[in-house]
Amino acid sequence: MSQYQRLLDLLTLDQVDKLRFKGGSMDIGSPQVYGGQVLAQSLQAADRTVTDDRVLHSLHGYFLSPGNMEKDIIYEVESLKDGRSFNTRRVKAMQDERVIFIMASSYHIQEEGYSHQTPMPNVSQPESLSSVPEIFSQLAEKLQIKPKGIYSKDSPIVFHPVEHYDPFNPKIQPARSHAWFKVNGTLPIEQRFRQSLLAYASDFNLLMTSLFPHAVSLYTTPMRIASLDHAMWFHRPIIEDDWMLYVVESPTAHGATGFCTGKIYSRKGVLLCSITQEGLIRKL
């Protein structure tokens, strides 16, 4: 089974009862459950309790404890509001009665209104760039590391970074990154699955961008890095099954935390969603 199909299966949660769901985890090479997976699964749990005429427009989540790869995750959904225009849900992700993540999500009826957006940056096209597995394979061979997750050729999401960044020999550079990405297969037709896949991909490379001005990485400096909170706003439907551009900036880092913002554009330059995240970047 390909990793992409495995990811789609993980997002298809088992229903325990009306407002409780269960999901497993996929090893991407990190010691704990990947935050983007918990985010995407929480979103799928909330989606299952909302009628089809409502469209997700925002989510806000907090990572409370690292997840155990070997245990299932239970997602409990609470219905906070079912209004004429908006629905609101709260989700708790738990392992052994311990809450590891909480999320609130909001759904809106489809309406017409004013529309504008920030233009997409002019960057190199994805076909002219190397993939993360291609970049990492040379380093992995030297260090005798077996690539997993996004670093493997079978990654569920394929990333083509625009800027060169060597985590084993980092240089001082602006706190800004651009990366093209797409699913390693066919994008599902359902809009809610597409949004969940964007949520899954959105946790990649956000916090690392806050380290760029300091010429450090996990491979050169003892530190602890962890996502603390994560928010997304979905502006427009995801139409094309094509490359998308992830633009990330870190306006500030202070007090052992880094703050990052992100924008995801379609290849045609349509702003699909915006992201913010603050995370722990603690020197040990």
Residue 17's contacts (CB-CB under 8 Å, 6 or more residues apart) are: none
- Model confidence over 213-245: pLDDT tens digits? 999 988 788 999 999 999 999 999 999 999 999
pLDDT, greater one: 79 or 168: 79
- Model confidence over 92-122: pLDDT tens digits? 999 998 999 999 999 999 999 999 999 999 9
Q: Are 55 and 108 in contact (CB under 8 A)?
A: yes
Residue-level pLDDT at 27 = 83
Instruction: Please give the span between the terminal C-alpha atoms of the chain, in angstroms, as a whole number.
Output: 39
- Model confidence over 13-48: pLDDT tens digits? 999 999 999 999 988 877 789 999 999 999 999 999
Question: Is the predicted pLDDT of residue 138 greater than 80, yes or no?
Answer: no
Query: Which alpha helices (DSSP H) does 67-222 contain, by range?
Result: 132-143, 191-202
**Active centre residues (catalytic):** 203, 227, 277
In CATH, the number for domain 3-110+129-283 is: 2.40.160.210
* Mean of pLDDT values over 114-140: 88
Residue-level pLDDT at 214 = 94
- Model confidence over 166-204: pLDDT tens digits? 777 889 999 999 999 999 999 999 999 999 999 999 998
The residues spanned by each domain of the chain are: 3-110+129-283
Sign of the four-CA dihedral 173, 165, 259, 236: positive
Q: How far is CA 60 from CA 101, 102, 106, 283, in A?
A: 11, 8, 9, 27
Specify the DSSP element, H or E, that contains 10. Answer: helix 3-11
What is the spatial distance between Cα 125 and Cα 281, in angstroms, rounded to a whole number?
A: 31
**Tokens at 34, concatenated:** 């990947």
Specify the DSSP element, H or E, that contains 40. Answer: helix 35-47
* Mean of pLDDT values over 241-253: 97
Spatial CA neighbour of 206 closest among 121, 151, 277, 120: 277
Residue with tokens 């993540």: 101
Residue-level pLDDT at 153 = 82
Per cent of the chain over pLDDT 70 is 95
Residue-level pLDDT at 267 = 97
* Mean of pLDDT values over 248-265: 97
Question: Is the predicted pLDDT of residue 210 greater than 70, yes or no?
Answer: yes
- Model confidence over 1-11: pLDDT tens digits? 578 999 999 99
Question: Is the predicted pLDDT of residue 132 greater than 80, yes or no?
Answer: yes
Specify the DSSP element, H or E, that contains 8. Answer: helix 3-11
- Model confidence over 146-171: pLDDT tens digits? 666 677 788 899 999 999 887 778 89
In terms of Cβ atoms closer than 10 Å to its own Cβ (0-12, 13-18, 19+), residue 167 is middle
